[in-house]
Amino acid sequence: MAFSLAVLELGCRLVGIEQPRLYRTDSDRGWTLKANVLTHWNQEGSAPVRTNSQGYRDREWALVKEPGVLRMAVLGDSFTEALQVPLEQTWVNQLPAAMAAVPGCRLLNGFPEGAETLNFGVGGYGTGQSWLTWQKDAQRFQPQLVLHAVYFENDLRDNIQAERGSGSGPTFSLSKGTLSRSNAFRSRSDYRFRRSWAGQASDWVLGWSRLAQLINQLKNLRNATAGEECDSSGCTFFPLGPDGTKLYGRESDDLKQGWEVLTAILRTWKQEADVAGSQLVVTSVTTPPQLWPNANDRQTEIKKHGLDWLKPEKQLATLLEADGIPYLPLAPELQRQADEKGLIAHGFAGQKPGPGYGHWNKAGHKAAATVLARKLCSLDLPGISD
């Protein structure tokens, strides 16, 4: 048996199987990326993935920035982490060059060396976990600008419900204007197992053994349900999602709580950033139904349910204006590009669930970086200096 296992292990290494665990438990945020992991992501899209020594999907960073550079810390969920495309194609990585290409970029006044981005995005994070990441890691790098990317289709719930991730994560609540945090996830059985010696040993085996990685990969593929109704050309159903009629239509009480907590987190975050000498700016990535390639399908859903595809952006703009937080939504411009130029920003051809669904592809990242660069360059933030 030992000889057979050794042969199988050697065979896995010879054919290049390498799929170590990307995530680890974290006592504050529930989970985060592991440091110094090298693998290849192929669950959606396809890209080599390497994490840096800080435990984020980016190049190595110097703790102290170079003179004349505008340092931007970028936080968010899987749209920011962007495992689906190579690092150089991510919107975060493209943003500095896109800003440099904007004539007379206001935000770069006083920064002759341009901008640099530090990507602190982690898949599955709600705004609360991104805020904790700012407190724990990002602010140590003293960014002048802190850019948080909201994803409406799950961020409103992620802050108040801990149902996903490696042992789930903290939740937040608001009572009489006071923001509270619960760490009940630490008592969950899956979190406690991952922190136990048995869980640590399992993690080590999955980090070293290519055979164990193959078995784990096959298990994950067997359990995967996304896109089961689709073929190689894509899906036939409209990606409205379980909360679609609430998010884009009449607001329900449970989403109202999510909006209140989201606003309270961002308000507190702004206050902390101000004290640290940073400027908090919020953007929001697009959702699949907002950019669905067939505009007629979108119109049909509007008539059927009485929806407004830009309702979340309008709500957040009103809420953040009251707190003086700059807000730069991407959906209005990218939706125009989808309608007029045929932009297909979400999904990957030849993969389930197909074009129009899921995360941004190469075209989506490029369009997002270009639009966001123009919006950032139009900001007048006198408090930002080298």
d(CA 311, CA 329): 11
CB 283 within 8 A of CB 372: yes
Q: What is the pLDDT of residue 141?
A: 97
Q: What is the pLDDT of residue 88?
A: 97
d(CA 382, CA 290): 34
CB 99 within 8 A of CB 170: no
Map 300-343 to HEC letters. Answer: HHHHHHCCCCCHHHHHHHHHHHHHCCCEEECHHHHHHHHHHHCC
CB 356 within 8 A of CB 293: yes
pLDDT at residue 122 tops 70: yes
Q: How confident is the model at residue 272 (pLDDT cuts 50, 70, 90)?
A: very high
d(CA 175, CA 180): 8
Q: How many CB atoms lie within 10 A of CB 337?
A: 16
Digit-coded pLDDT (tens) for 60-112: 999 999 999 999 999 999 999 999 999 999 999 999 999 999 999 999 999 99
Q: What is the pLDDT of residue 282?
A: 98
DSSP letters, 221-272, are HHH--TTTT-BTTB-SS----TTHHHHSSSPPHHHHHHHHHHHHHHHHHHHH
pLDDT at residue 167 tops 60: no
pLDDT at residue 237 tops 90: no
Please state at what angle helix 311-323 crosses helix 253-275, rounded to 10 degrees: 40
Q: What is the pLDDT of residue 11?
A: 84
d(CA 80, CA 83): 9
Contacts of 273 (CB under 8 A, 6+ apart): 134, 139, 146, 279, 280
Q: How confident is the model at residue 114 (pLDDT cuts 50, 70, 90)?
A: very high
CB 72 within 8 A of CB 108: no
Q: What is the pLDDT of residue 377?
A: 96
d(CA 258, CA 206): 36
Summary mean pLDDT of the chain = 89
Which domains does the chain show, CATH number per domain? 72-170+240-377 (3.40.50.1110)
pLDDT at residue 253 tops 80: no
Q: What is the pLDDT of residue 112?
A: 95
Of 136, 139, 126, 129, whose CA–CA distance to 71 is shortest?
139
SS3 assignment, position 347 = coil
Q: What is the pTM of this model?
A: 0.91
Of 377, 302, 373, 371, whose CA–CA distance to 335 is shortest?
371
Q: How confident is the model at residue 225 (pLDDT cuts 50, 70, 90)?
A: low
CA 174 to chain centre: 24
For the chain, helix, strand, coil in percent to 5 are 45, 15, 40
Give, in degrees to the nearest 5, the angle at Cα 356 between 352 and 360: 90
Of 151, 148, 363, 93, whose CA–CA distance to 268 is shortest?
148
d(CA 69, CA 341): 34
Give, in degrees to the nearest 5, the angle at Cα 246 between 245 and 249: 65
d(CA 283, CA 145): 13
